[in-house]
Amino acid sequence: MALSLEMTLLRLKRMEAALIRSQLANSEVLPADDYDLIRYALVLARLQAIRPGAVALERPEHSTVPDVMLADEPLQALRATLLDLLYEPLREQRNLLVRLAHLRKLSDRVRVATRDARLALLAAHKDEFSPDDLDKEVCHKVLVMIPGGGGGAGFVYSGFVARMQADGIAPSYIVGSSIGALLGGLMARDRQPDIPALIAWGKALKVPQIFSQPVVGPALSLPGLVRLHLRGMDQMLRKADGSPMRLKDLAIPYDAVVAGVKASAYASMPKFKPSRLHSTRLPMRIAERMVHMLSYFSPKVATEVLLGATPETHNVRVVDAIGLSSAIPGVLQYAPWQEDEQSLAILQAIREQQGLASFMDGGMVSNVPARAAWRSVEAGRIGRRNAYYLAMDCFGPQWGVGHTWLYPVTQMIQAQLPAQRPYYDWLVQFTKTPSPVNLLPSEEMFDMAYSSGWEQAETVMPQLKAALKPIRMPSLD
């Protein structure tokens, strides 16, 4: 059966990721020019459009130059050739030495196919972009970071990002769910976020600055045990003039995944009685409520809403996108400290257009939203198409205090991952994290999470640096 275009492009993407890992493990078999050639070919083959001049811009998503949709015939021929020649050695051959030796033998055929496709594209678009525009897009890869949900476990992301920053690596796009949306939104505020300052700010937060008693009556999200009002975060996410930051104002393009609860299913969902908040019993009450989350993991109940991906949602207040993506059903009810009329109007329009009763935690529909990230990039969200997709999962099953009782929930979350797997290049599954119910950790727990994230980043850094290193333009003669 013929592959769809999307699956063809995803296969080519994962073939390049396999090539990078293989060459990193053994660089003595495949000559450097052949390695650059095959990577160039695999990137070129999966382009559908380019934005001329975007590579040279700090904010390519703001470019007013329109995208150029590439002529399909040359690319179809190149895709067919590369899948025929390279899929077996790159995706099915497990012996790396045999794999790389096989690739070396195929390099001349790859060179001819790549040269022909490139020349045909340049001829078809000679008045729309230059050879330099095309080659720069192919040779320069950007990082898309996809931090997933997991409550307090997600504080490990701070150390991971700090480790990347230490090597000069920064994301060009962040798409997050739940705690991944929360921390991702803070990191997107500045092009070079001050991680130590953010950690110090987080350590200084007190419960009343983030949480309070739930509100009774209409709210943006489902009812919960605790009101998530994010007053302290709202103060952080403001511009110099005091006005609220909106998604379009962030220094790094950022989208938050939110689950929309379908009106048709709302009446049959579990209902929770309001109760007074007692801090000494809070972890146990959260534990009880989180087990009920299993009722919400169904496409009949919820649909994915990506705030920030479309112009219609660019004016959503950042704190609202974060709050809704973090609103765990039955646990956290997002009701902002101060409502924003512009955000409310946009969110109400979404509810009416999509037939939604309410919003809730993005992890209910896509805890590690790689598919949403990939599709947004392909649609032109950041002005670039050549990207490396780094997914981050902090909600895998763990044994120990604060983790074991969540096993049914973590298993349900893990069941989402196979559908996301084709869309990311690498998944970091954190194995040492705070408990997910520890929503506002102590200073000691913050430090542990930071150290754990930094430590686990070490194993990924060589591959990440290799993937983001510009490709040397190969000889195509």
For the chain, the straight-line distance linking the first and the last C-alpha, in angstroms and rounded, comes to 35
Query: Tens digits of per-residue pLDDT, 252-287?
Result: 999 999 999 998 877 766 665 555 555 445 555 655
The answer to whether 157 and 392 are in contact (CB under 8 A) is yes
Residue predicted with more confidence, 137 or 207: 137
What per-residue confidence (pLDDT) applies to 405?
A: 46
Distance CA 36, CA 141 (A): 13
Distance CA 184, CA 193 (A): 11
By residue count, the chain amounts to 477
Q: Give me the mean pLDDT over the 376-396 stretch.
A: 95
What per-residue confidence (pLDDT) applies to 466?
A: 97
Distance CA 14, CA 83 (A): 11
**Which of 143, 141, 3, 139 is closest to 82 using CA atoms?**
3
Pick from 45-54, 379-388, 443-452: least confident: 443-452
Q: With 80 as the cut, is the pLDDT of residue 303 above it?
A: yes
Q: Give me the mean pLDDT over the 372-391 stretch.
A: 98
What per-residue confidence (pLDDT) applies to 280?
A: 46
Strands 68-69, 49-50: pairing kind: antiparallel
DSSP 8-state assignment for residue 257: E
The sign of the dihedral angle between the CA atoms of 13, 19, 21, 24 is: negative
Distance CA 269, CA 261 (A): 10
Q: Which tokens hold the place of 63?
A: 């470019």
Residue predicted with more confidence, 374 or 416: 374
Return the ∠ at Cα 112 (arms to 107 and 113), rounded to 5°: 95
Q: Decide: residue 169, CB within 10 A, 0-12 exposed, 13-18 middle, 19+ buried.
A: middle
**CA-to-CA dists, residue 462 to 83, 95, 141, 184, 466, angstroms:** 27, 21, 15, 23, 6
% residues pLDDT > 70 (the chain): 90
The answer to whether 265 and 301 are in contact (CB under 8 A) is yes
Distance CA 249, CA 273 (A): 38
Q: What is the mean pLDDT of the chain?
A: 90
Q: With 50 as the cut, is the pLDDT of residue 331 above it?
A: yes
The contacts of residue 413 (CB under 8 Å, 6+ apart) are 149, 150, 363, 367, 395
Q: Give me the mean pLDDT over the 313-341 stretch.
A: 93
Q: Which of 90-94, 360-364, 439-443 has the highest mean pLDDT?
A: 90-94
Pick from 82-91, 274-283, 328-337, 446-455: least confident: 274-283
Amino acid at 356: L
The contacts of residue 444 (CB under 8 Å, 6+ apart) are none
In angstroms and rounded to an integer, the radius of gyration of the C-alpha atoms of the chain is: 23
Name the 3-class secondary structure at 320. helix
Q: With 90 as the cut, is the pLDDT of residue 419 above it?
A: yes
What per-residue confidence (pLDDT) applies to 301?
A: 84
DSSP 8-state assignment for residue 211: E
DSSP 8-state assignment for residue 175: E
What kind and span of H or E run contains 224? none
Distance CA 428, CA 451 (A): 15
Name the 3-class secondary structure at 111. helix
Q: Where are the alpha helices (DSSP H) in 30-95?
A: 32-45, 72-87
DSSP 8-state assignment for residue 95: -
Query: Tens digits of per-residue pLDDT, 120-129?
Result: 999 999 999 9
Residue 392: phi and psi, rounded to 5, are: -135, 125
What's the half-sphere exposure (Cβ side, CA atoms, 13 Å) at 153?
26
DSSP 8-state assignment for residue 91: I
Distance CA 49, CA 289 (A): 46
Q: Give me the mean pLDDT over the 218-232 stretch.
A: 86
DSSP assignment string, 387-403: EEEEEEE--S---STTT
Pick from 40-49, 132-141, 256-265, 266-275: least confident: 266-275
Q: With 80 as the cut, is the pLDDT of residue 218 above it?
A: no
**Residue entry with tokens 């946009």:** 346
Query: Tens digits of per-residue pLDDT, 142-186?
Result: 999 999 998 888 999 999 999 999 999 999 999 999 999 999 999
